[in-house]
Amino acid sequence: MGVDPFLLSILVCPKCHGSLTVKNNPDGLFCQSCGLLYPVKDDIPVMLVEEAIPLATAGEGRP
C-alpha cells in the first residue's frame, strides 16, 4: 500500500473519529473501535462509512 505517510498520520475514522491502523491483508485502514476496515483503492483511502467493510467480513473474525 503506497499511501502517503503524512496522510496516514492525520486520517481518523469518519464514524467515531478513532485512530486507524494499516492492514495489509486485505489492504485498508482499520478502526479498532468500530471494527471497520476502510479499503484503499489505487493507493487512495476510501473514507466513506458506506464503503467500509465490517471486521468479520474482512476476514479477521471478532472474538
What is the fold of 5-54?
A: N-terminal domain of TfIIb (2.20.25)
What is the number of other CB atoms lying within 10 angstroms of the CB of residue 42? 6
Where in the chain are the domains? 5-54
Measured distance CA(6)–CA(62) in Å, rounded: 30
Residue 63 has pLDDT above 50, yes or no: no
DSSP state of 44: E
Over residues 13-25, the mean pLDDT reads 92
**Residue 58 CA to chain centroid, in angstroms?**
10
Measured distance CA(59)–CA(55) in Å, rounded: 7
Residue 16 has pLDDT above 50, yes or no: yes
Q: What was the pLDDT predicted at 43?
A: 85
1 pLDDT band, cuts 50/70/90, is: low
